[in-house]
A = this chain, B = another copy of it.
Amino acid sequence: MQEEKQPIFKNKRTGDEMYYFITRLYPYCRSITGNGTRQTLADISSIIPLAITEVPTGTKAFDWEVPKEWNIRDAWIKDSNGKKILDFHQLNLHVLNYSIPVNKQVPLTELKKHLYTLPDQPELIPYKTSYYEEKWGFCMSHNQFSQLKDELYHVYIDSSLETGSLTYGELFLKGDTDDEVLISTHICHPSLCNDNLSGIAVATWLAKQLTNQKLRYSYRFLFIPGTIGSITWLSRNEKDVKKIKHGLVITLLGDSSDFTYKRSRKGNALIDKTVETWLKTSGKSYTISDFIPYGYDERQFCSPGFDLPVGCFTRKPFGQFPEYHTSADNLTFVKPEKLEESLNALSDIIEIIEKNETYINLNPKCEPQLGKRGLYEKTGGTNDSKITQLAALWVLNYSDGTNSLLDIASRSGLPFSTILKAAEALKECKLLKNDRN
């Protein structure tokens, strides 16, 4: 593999670009429907050519139906002096997501029934939703809650919950085959950066990298509201999902923790082996966990009626970091370099998906004499020539038609890219051929 080919999958300083994109999207009040989500998709469309789908309220989707569309313009609480003590425009987490409108004066005891706080994290404001029960509510810090006086408050939410539609975005990149790789990320969370502006940014830049490339697989990127979005998409694309050969739900990619891979329900799908081998040979710490039927949209892709080979790639998983679903999941919680590291990881993983093949050793009886072919010099400078020599021996020994390059990377503990480099050098020397040739 020549150095010039590298920029296909790698891109420098994109971390800053992605971080800037997140700062732009952070203030929008996203939800599972509504204009905040629509604006988010419009912004993504400025970078990659998204197809936007609007699915009307009431549309059936398996056991579910598309809910009313929610929009919100303003919300606040004023104390008895008319002073705003809480303001939606300062932070959209302050409003219970999907709150119905309200405009009335309530005493403290009544107000408290509509307030959500985090007693164990008294400085943080929680993120709460009520998609399927019509009610109104506010979220505030427990510190503020503790100091509320026993007086009359004016609560005001200028929202609407009306017939409308659910919006999602989709990008399809046609490759050499109809076999698809699915990359899905959720777009329904309001001002939360890691969950999931990080996933939105990384998916967008990954799609951008792959655009206009010659690809073996076709790629389908989904930017969808969590749960109802993936259920809706699956119900509208039921006949075609069998084309999905590998898939990843990506989210929580901007914080500073290690990567985590949650296996597909199958547990031994090629995507599972691919990500696990990449992690194992990455030199980084990581966690791999078995499929569990809760988490993100892999729940739907891996429901037993579909059982798609879709894993979930994150850093620290949902619920396992203190900033999760709080106002602390903000612009200081995600880091440009971590976004970039995540993007590079996914680029590497896609490189494996694209380039993995099974080769046949054309000189299977004893080792070939590598030295006389100048193989060591051919494969790079002196620094990594020993590694490449090892990689060549691994490729030769295991290329008997039963082991792919990914299998060999996994067994040897050498990165796929090193194994690929060795395989390409051996192919040039006529010591190796593609299994399919």
Contact = CB atoms under 8 A, between A and B. Distances in A.
B63 A366 contact: yes
A335 B63 CA distance: 53
Contacts of A397: 265, 293, 299, 302-304
Given A393-B294, A397-B265, A397-B304, A132 B365 contact: no
Interface string A79-117: 000000000000000000000000000000000000000
Given A361-B304, A390-B294, A366 B132 contact: no
Contacts of A133: 371
A365 B64 contact: no
**So how many copies of this chain end up in the complex?**
3
A321 interface: no
A293 B234 contact: no
Interface string A41-67: 000000000000000000001111000
Interface in A289-305: 290, 292-294, 299-300, 302-305
Given A304-B361, A371-B132, A393-B294, A366 B398 contact: no
B363 A400 contact: no
A394 B235 contact: no
Nearest to A411: B290
A230 B364 CA distance: 15
Contacts of A372: 132
A317 to B, nearest CB: 15
Given A132-B371, A394-B293, A63 B363 contact: yes
26 contacts: A61-B366, A62-B368, A63-B363, A63-B367, A64-B369, A132-B369, A132-B372, A227-B367, A231-B366, A234-B365, A235-B365, A265-B397, A293-B367, A294-B390, A299-B367, A300-B366, A302-B397, A303-B364, A303-B365, A303-B397, A304-B361, A304-B364, A304-B397, A304-B398, A305-B361, A307-B400
Given A292-B412, A303-B396, 10 more contacts: A234-B366, A293-B393, A293-B398, A299-B367, A300-B366, A303-B365, A304-B361, A304-B364, A304-B397, A305-B365
